Structures are given as structure tokens and as C-alpha cells.
Amino acid sequence: MTDKAQASLLERYRRLAEISRNLASTVDLNILLDRITEAAAHVSGSEAASILLYDENQGQLYFESATNLDEPLMRGLIVPVEGSIAGWIVTNGKPVIIDDTQSDPRHFSQVGEATNVTTNSLLGVPLIAKDKVIGALEAINKINGAFTQDDQEILMDLGAQAAVAIENARLFQQSDLIAEMVHELRTPLASLRTASHLLLRKDVSQDQLAKVVNIIDNETTRLINMTTSFLDLARLESGRIPFNSELFDPTGLLQECIGMMKNKAAEKNLRLNLYIPNELPKIKADQDKIKQVVLNLISNAVNYNKPSGTITVSGHRQQNELVISVNDTGPGIRQADMVHLFDKFYRSQATEASVQGTGLGLAICKKIVEAHDGYIDVQSEIGIGTTFSVHLPIKDS
């Protein structure tokens, strides 16, 4: 190695040490991923870099972050484990250097097509945390010459630190969720304590007693609902609960949901209709989870409706999607609330006081639908009503 090359390598290791310190202190996963890709491109002397993380639950790789590329277009892009270089890295747990990606049979060309970036040379390393491969870090297009063993070593070093930092950030996210959950438990618990203090007093009238018991009943129901939502969300976020995918007829499922919510709607004097204009295609999905989504949406349509209003649940096919919509004649949702609707614990101020809830229903719906490769959208008009639509892909097998 020439003196110059040696100096440059030393300089790169010095940079790597600096980056490592920086990574260890970043707990925001998105910022962390961006920093890792930026560092990867830098220390390996390449045009761009990207991170793909492996989702055990789905058995798929997802693009999470990339430099020089159109982020919104890339993020969440699925890359097959079989038939991609990243998949090879993750399956084998080994690094790879490829001088001409276009002629490598493992190359997954759709990413290039989607992003207009041509990958020529590539250096990829596995991201390994606690002996488990959690993804792949790829540097793309060496600026001068070809990728070397030195490049590979330095990227392996960065990958090892990055993997630990990613795991830590994920754990931190989880502990954040726990903190928020515990915080939410405080209100009903405080009500229960007030109620029990009242019960301990000797001078409580029969009338007051009935009220206090009513409060206890309400608050315990609320606590039970909350803990169920917490558990659902925590399980979905951890990705550890496998989905039970089966082929089923969505019409039956929608009828069942209507049956389950009939009384709740009638109690509030609301009409609940089902509208299925044409025969629906069967879909492959986790029936219980999809039922949970539809029930959550109907429950919102009941809670946030006007007196004597209507709820219409409908199902139809739209190209290769099954669309399930829940429409209500409620107050509608303001634009400012729209962007936060699916955030954990978000409740709009407009309804917070009049309706009880935890603000997790829609966050859970979104997680479930996205885990099925689908999406939810919402249309709303103030004073007229709101429609939530769940789009699920129709798969052949």
C-alpha cells in the first residue's frame, strides 16, 4: 500500500470512530438510519448507500433509508429475499463485492427502475445484532475504481456498530411506548381512587353510593379496553405475532361485523347499513385482524356520529383491491386533525371531552392493514360526515 493510500485509510478509520460515537447517542430510528447511510457512502467512497431491514414476521426485506435517492419513493419498498443481492447477504450473513451488478443474476432491477438510479458496482454487508442478521447495508457505485477488501472491512465495522445502534433505537421506541401507556393509565386509576375514598366515608347516601359504583364500573371497563389496546399495539409493533393468513369470503366477515355492532348502533339510535353491490372476491388475510379493523372503524362511526345518524359499511372490488369503507354522518374531521389521526394516542380536541377512548384504535388499524400490504385512507367533510376506506390487495393464492 502506498503512503497516500495508507493515510487515506487511516483518515477513514478516524471518521468511522467519530461516526460510531455519534450513532451510539442517536435514539430516533429514522435519523439514525439516515446517518448510517450517509456514513456508509462516505467511508466506502461511494456515490450512495442504502439500508434494508429484515421483517421476520413478513419474511421480507424493506428499504428503510437511502442517500441520493428519492426517499418517499423508496421507503417501505419491498425487496424479495430470494432474487435480490440484499436477500443473499441476509440469508448468508456474509459481505459481498460485485463489480458489475447489472450482470449479476441476484440483482433485483425493480429498485433501479423505481428510482432511476443505475447500480454498477456494489458492496454490501450484513447488519448483525446479537448473532441475528437484521438487515443489509449496501454501498453503491464506487467513485474511484472498484471496491476493495479495505472498503469491505471498514463497512463491516460500520455495519456492526450500526446494527447495535438500530437495535437500541428499537428498544428505546418500545420503552417510549410503555411510558406513554403507563401515563394513560393514570387518569382512570385516579378516578378509581377517588371512588374508593368516597366509599370509605361513613356518611355516603344511597344515592351517592349508586353513582360511585357506576364510576367504578365505567372506569374498570375503560381500563380493560385500554390494556387490550395496549397489548394489541405492543404485539403489532414488536412484529413477533405471526399473522394467520387464510383465504376467506369478505361478505361473511362484513355481515358478522354488522351483527356485532347492531346493538351498539341501536342504543344510540343510529342506522347501520351494509352495502355490497357486487359479489366480492375472496381475499387472503388474517380474518380476525381484518375483523378488528372493521369493528374499530364502525365503533368510531358510532361514537362520532350525530343523533339519529347513519352508518354505511360497504365492500367493493376496485381493480386488484378489495375496498371496505365505513361511512358516517358525523361532524367530520378538521384538516389539522387529519394528519395525526393514525398517530398513537392522538384524539382530536373536538371530540375528546364527549367520547371516551384511548386514541389507539386507528393506530392499530393502520398497523394491521399495512402488515397486509394494504392502506387506509380517509375522506371527510365538516358537518357532513367521514368515510374511512381500507384497501387490501387481492392475491391469487
Ligand X SMILES: Nc1ncnc2c1ncn2[C@@H]1O[C@H](COP(=O)(O)OP(=O)(O)OP(=O)(O)O)[C@@H](O)[C@H]1O
Residue nearest to Mg ion (CB): 361
Contact 127, 162 (CB under 8 A): yes
Distance CA 227, CA 65 (A): 33
Kindly state whether residue 366 participates in binding ligand X, applying the rule CB under 6 A: no
Kindly determine how many residues on this chain lie close enough to bind ligand X according to the rule CB under 6 A.
20
Number of Cα atoms under 13 Å in the Cβ half of residue 176: 12
Site for ligand X in 298-327 (CB under 6 A): 300-301, 304
The entry of Mg ion, ligand X, none near residue 304 (CB within 5 to 8 angstroms by kind) is ligand X
* Integer Rg of the chain from CA: 26
Applying CB under 6 A, among 58, 191, 220, 351 the residue interacting with ligand X is 351
Applying CB under 6 A, among 35, 142, 347, 391 the residue interacting with ligand X is 347
For residue 344, the minimal CB distance to ligand X (Å) is: 8
Kindly state whether residue 87 participates in binding Mg ion, applying the rule CB under 5 A: no
For residue 304, the minimal CB distance to Mg ion (Å) is: 8
Contact 97, 81 (CB under 8 A): no
The entry of ligand X, Mg ion, none near residue 347 (CB within 5 to 8 angstroms by kind) is ligand X
Instruction: Say if strands 271-275 and 310-318 run parallel, antiparallel, or are unpaired.
Output: parallel
Applying CB under 6 A, among 309, 328, 389, 391 the residue interacting with ligand X is 328
- What sign does the CA torsion over 298, 299, 302, 305 have? negative
Distance CA 198, CA 299 (A): 33
Residue owning grid cell 428499537: 170
For residue 166, the minimal CB distance to ligand X (Å) is: 28
Where does this chain touch Mg ion (CB under 5 A) — which range of 104-112, 194-202, 285-293, 356-364? 356-364
Alpha-carbon distances, residue 264 vs 228, 267, 333, 371 (angstroms): 19, 5, 22, 29
Number of Cα atoms under 13 Å in the Cβ half of residue 241: 15
Kindly state whether residue 358 participates in binding ligand X, applying the rule CB under 6 A: yes
Identify the burial level of 14 via C-beta atoms within 10 angstroms of its C-beta, where 0-12 means exposed, 13-18 middle and 19 or more buried. Answer: exposed
Where does this chain touch Mg ion (CB under 5 A) — which range of 254-262, 269-277, 299-307, 370-378? 299-307
Kindly state whether residue 361 participates in binding Mg ion, applying the rule CB under 5 A: yes
Distance CA 333, CA 350 (A): 9
Task: Please say which residue, 51 or 293, places its beta carbon nearer to Mg ion.
Answer: 293
Applying CB under 6 A, among 152, 161, 229, 329 the residue interacting with ligand X is 229
Q: In sequence order, which residues have a C-beta less than 8 Å from that of residue 103 and are 6 or more positions away? A: none
Task: Please say which residue, 88 or 388, places its beta carbon nearer to Mg ion.
Answer: 388
Kindly state whether residue 222 participates in binding ligand X, applying the rule CB under 6 A: no
Site for ligand X in 26-65 (CB under 6 A): none
Strand intervals (E) in the chain: 46-55, 60-66, 78-79, 96-98, 122-129, 132-142, 245-248, 271-275, 283-286, 310-318, 321-328, 375-381, 385-393
Contact 81, 87 (CB under 8 A): yes
Where does this chain touch ligand X (CB under 6 A) — which range of 36-44, 88-96, 202-210, 355-363? 355-363
Q: Helix or strand or coil: residue 55?
A: strand
Site for ligand X in 272-301 (CB under 6 A): 300-301
Kindly state whether residue 264 participates in binding ligand X, applying the rule CB under 6 A: no
Kindly state whether residue 300 participates in binding Mg ion, applying the rule CB under 5 A: yes
For residue 347, the minimal CB distance to ligand X (Å) is: 3
Site residues (vs Mg ion, CB under 5 A): 300, 361
Site residues (vs ligand X, CB under 6 A): 229, 300-301, 304, 328, 330, 333, 341, 346-348, 351, 357-363, 386
